[in-house]
Structure 1
Amino acid sequence: MNRTLVGVFALVACFTAVHALQCYECDFGVFGLCSTSKINCTTGQSCYNSTGSPSAVTGLKITAKGCRNNTLCASTNITTNSFLFNINYTISYACCSGELCNGGTTLAFSMLTAIVMATVWFGLL
């Protein structure tokens, strides 16, 4: 009887144990430099990589990584307006569903460094 209860409990535990998808996250990267950390996605999310190009600056690539709702993964090319510099960007998204599938880097720099780099690039200093 005890063996049966333990077996049933183990079976139920296997079905209720949920493993969150782990992805790399980078909120803002420029020139291919992006400080990443690992995050756990919630149910209904996949990992993503995005690359953006501002319409006003030729050759500048902005990157981001993280978790994205699966329903948004169908949208691969989006044009959006930046709240920071009021510049239009074309952003491409690529989603994937494997553990840490959106790649990562070990480069470490602060968000302040990224903002200063972007400000210098746009000539606002």
Structure 2
Amino acid sequence: MRTTMWLAVAIVIFISAAEALQCEQCSIGVLGRCLFPDQVNCHESSPNCYTGEAQFNATGFLKLHTRGCLDADLCNQTITGTILGAGFTSSFSCCSTDLCNGASALHTPLFSLTLSAALVAMAHWLR
């Protein structure tokens, strides 16, 4: 009886893990490229893959990108707000198949150049 119970628990865990949606995750990306890509399995509370974009209204040209798992309430939404007095607009686009939000990696030399340019632009703007 005890063996049957443990076998049933193992089957439920295996089925739950197999059903989890797999998404590309990117905490930050610049120029449409992910800086540190990874793959994650989404939880039931965030059942969609997403691609997000944030743009600071004052600069207009600098867009930051994110990817990962997202709650359905935020899918296909646009949000506006401010950080340290700088206005921004963020939008989220969702999909629901494995790795449907595919990201590509950015190589280190271009990453360093892009990050430096972004920091200089932000420092100049915040003066």
Structure 1 runs of 4+ off > 3 angstroms? 12-16, 112-117
Corresponding position of 1:50: 52
Q: Matches of 1:17 and 1:23 in 2, distance apart?
A: 18
Offset at 1:117? 4.3
List per-residue Cα deviations over 1:26-47 (Å, max 9, x = no partner).
1111222312110111013211
Alignment of 1:1-125 (within 5 A): 13=11, 17-18=15-16, 19=18, 20-35=20-35, 36-45=37-46, 46-73=48-75, 76-82=77-83, 85-109=84-108, 113=112, 116-123=116-123
Structure 1 residue runs of 5 or longer lacking an equivalent are: none
Distance across 1 between alignment mates of 2:115 and 2:61: 18
- Cα distance change on mapping 1:108 and 1:43 into 2, 3 Å: farther
TM-score between the two structures when normalised by the length of structure 1: 0.72
The structure with the greater share of residues assigned to helix is 2
- C-alpha distance in structure 1 between counterparts of 2:72 and 2:101, whole Å: 15
What is the count of residue pairs matched by the alignment? 112
CA distance in structure 2 between the aligned counterparts of 1:16 and 1:70, rounded to whole angstroms? 25
Letter in 2 for 1:91: S
> Secondary structure of the residue that 2:101 maps to in structure 1?
coil
Deviations 1:59-105 (A, max 9, x none): 2111111111122225x1110223xx542111111011100111111
TM-score by length of 2: 0.71
CA distance in 1, matches of 2:64, 2:22: 22
Q: What is the Cα-based RMSD across aligned positions, in Å?
A: 2.8
The CA distance in 2 between the partners of 1:26 and 1:117, in whole Å, is: 20
